[in-house]
Amino acid sequence: MSRLILAEGLQLSGGDRGVVAVVAVVALAALAVGYVLLREVLAAGQGTPKMQDIARAVQEGAAAYLNRQFRTLAAFVVIVFLLLFLLPADDVGERVGRSLFFVVGAGFSAAIGYLGMWLSTRANVRVAAAAREDSGRERAMRVAFRTGGVVGMTTVGLGLLGAAVVVLVYAGQAPKVLEGFGFGAALLAMFMRVGGGIFTKAADVGADLVGKVEQNIPEDDPRNAATIADNVGDNVGDCAGMAADLFESYAVTLVASLILGTAAFGVQGLLFPLIVPAIGVLTAVIGVYVTNAKPGESGLAAINRSFYISAIISAVLCTVAAFAYLPASFSALSGGERTEGNPALVAAVAVIIGIVLAGVILWLTGYFTGTEHRPVRDVGKTSLTGAATVILSGISVGFESAVYTAIVIGGAVYGAFLLSGSVTVALFAIALAGCGLLTTVGVIVAMDTFGPVSDNAQGIAEMSGDVHGQGAQILTELDAVGNTTKAITKGIAIATAVLAASALFGSYNNAIKEALGKVNGVFDLADFAVFSPSTLVGLAVGAAVVFLFSGLAVNAVSRAAGAVVFEVRRQFRDNPGIMDGTTRPEYGRVVDICTKDSLRELATPGLLAVLAPIAVGFGLGVGPLAGYLAGAIATGTLMAIFLANSGGAWDNAKKLVEDGYHGGKGSEAHAATVIGDTVGDPFKDTAGPSINPLIKVMNLVSVLIAPAVVTFSVGSGASPVLRAVIALLALAVIVGAITVSKRRSTAIAESSPAPEPNSAVV
């Protein structure tokens, strides 16, 4: 207990403040590099007037959606700000700082998401235009990847700047204040991930079902009223949502590292987690600028090469920084826990574990979702026997890949934990592994943004009809590469979620110990044991919440897609001129449907994520809440990987068939893979990636409420009645939200006239 009190009383020396100031300057430099890349992207040509008109429609739809989403979430942010202010804190300054930086974290997350959307909707037409040039392949890939580089540099810049400012202002209280910063980033990211995911997949599924399956027209045919909404969705889901998701991973991992580092290493533990991502800024710049495809080289190979180059440089520089900044003995530390071992060696190896984990995840995810590897090719072959076998084979790929990926992530967590005999230091090592993984986050964000920008570029090319021959083939290739890079970044994102959640687990334990010290109370350790019935119940509930959250997300896509299907069918039926090209579809109506439905549907999963830990913590206690977190982390890891990789395999299997395999476009095999891709859309782009922020939101909520749960459970402030009231209120809100959600029917046929007897129903 003494070490926690010591941690809170830490003061920064002039030299320490100098280190933090340098980190802040590096963060500002990252933002400056992002601006340089931004100017380069915007300087590229925009193609024909028709291409620009289509891009402008996508820009307007994406901006309208995010503006409405932010207005919807503003009230939620205000409510949480006030609730955070009411939670226990050591003094008013800490309470104000935690609430204030909750808003800052939420604002940064929203800003990065908006930037991702804004730039990607302007880069897509530039990538399409670049594909028409003589050196189209290299030029188009450069524009697409550097678009992601802008978002990546902004992500690392704002995340590092926010953490550095908090440390400069609050010193020893910084970890507590940063809980609010991380919570704000995670909460906004989760809402943007869920809302954007529902929007993009409702439009995508609706467009495919009516356009490809019913009308037998190409994916981005301008006669399909859902095409603009589909392209808008790529930007608000994959660009805005994923950018915010990776930012909150960055922020939350920093929060966990600073909390545990302060307890384990004292001042050095508070500052070293800032030095590691500062090094990551340099390696991100290198990674972005060295990404150039050589003649005859696949785009994926070029991107992977730049990732590995930046990872190796990060490993070397972080190792040098660890031995230069940290002492060789724990006795030389300025505070923290006294134990045996070498702090510099522990930190260096932990960071390297995280970097190696990122590389392994990149290879493993690429293997299970890439078009050149056996899993996706096997899924493509099953299209010869129909949609059912395509779905079965894709599910098997998802299940199998989840096992291997979970083992790799678990091995990294356990390897970091074994670096020290002290639990506190071992947990700090896990957090540092997360920091190591995120030294490559600038390149990771660039890889992710590359996907939707390339997808949009192909859509604009097809809708305009102004890109032909070699240019069209270039965009098709980049789109397939983008599918794989998106899957890879989803795998890395879930790895960061597990590392951050594991570290936050330690922060949760520290919060309980600190609260117990203040009320002079004790808990029986058996309350935390897995064989305790109450803890086991908590574990089962945590696992169940992941399933419920995933089901709500997929169900929301189903309902919204149903509305899109009806609207597109209605337009084809009521306006025969659409099919012969004499009448322009009403694109805005589909965009409006997706916007309204996604904003309406995101509330229930969000309330579940925030209120379920409150119901368990106040209702069952801190031991069952620990079990709840363990169940959510374990199940969430497997579920997120399964959903992301099965969806990625289905998507690229469709690409294989469209490239001419197994009969090519228009064949029965193609129709089967379209169905598989349609099933996989909400898997890989809505439910799967939304689990990443879900895990971290639930962990941060648990860390924030732990002192209140302890205060109401033991000592003079114990109040079983108040605990029960809080738990029941949280549970009532969850039940009410789910009930309202379930009343929205998922039956597509409900709002359409009944088919004639013996008529075919698609």
Q: Residue 598 is encoded by which pair of tokens?
A: 């996604």
Which token pair is 123? 């880069």
Residue 109 and residue 119 in contact, taking contact as beta carbons nearer than 8 Å = no
Number of Cβ within 10 Å of residue 437's Cβ equals 30
The pLDDT tens digits of the residues spanning 533-554 come to 888 899 999 999 999 999 988 8
DSSP label at residue 334: S
Which two tokens mark 171? 């010193």
Query: Which of 28-32, 366-370, 757-761 comes out lowest in average pLDDT?
Result: 757-761
Q: What is the DSSP letter of 384?
A: G
* Tens digit of each residue's pLDDT (9 = 90 or more) over 454-503: 888 888 888 888 878 788 888 888 887 887 787 788 788 888 888 878 87
Rounded CA separation 120/452 (Å) = 8
Distances (CA, A) of 280 to 273, 541, 614: 11, 37, 36
Mean pLDDT of 338-358: 87
d(CA 378, CA 652): 11
Domain ranges of the chain: 2-749
> Which one-letter amino acid corresponds to residue 649?
A
Vertex 586 angle, CA 582 and 589, to 5°: 170
Angle 525-529-532 (CA atoms, 0-180°, nearest 5)?
105
Instruction: Pick the closest to residue 241 from 478, 474, 451 (CA basis).
Output: 451
What does the block give as tokens for 317?
């520089």
Average pLDDT, the chain: 83
Q: What is the structure's pLDDT at 392? A: 94
Read off the pLDDT of each residue in 10-37 and give the average, rounded to a whole number.
87
DSSP assignment of 694-706, as one string?
A: HHHHHHHHHHHHH
Q: Is the pTM of this model over 0.95?
A: no
Q: CB under 8 Å to 104, separation ≥6 — which residues?
A: 162, 181, 184
DSSP state of 754: P
Hey, which of 122-126, 220-224, 492-496, 513-517 has the most confident mean pLDDT?
A: 122-126
pLDDT at 751: 44
Whether the per-residue pLDDT at 746 is higher than 60: the answer is no
Q: Is the alpha carbon torsion for 201, 207, 210, 213 positive or negative?
A: negative
Most confident of 444-448, 590-594, 731-735: 731-735
| Tokens matching residue 418 | 């074994």
How much is the pLDDT for 312? 92
Pick from 695, 690, 649: nearest CA to 673: 649
DSSP per-residue codes, 599-626: HHHTHHHHHHHHHHHHHHHHHH-HHHHH
Sign of the C-alpha dihedral computed for residues 701, 236, 485 and 104 taken in this order: negative
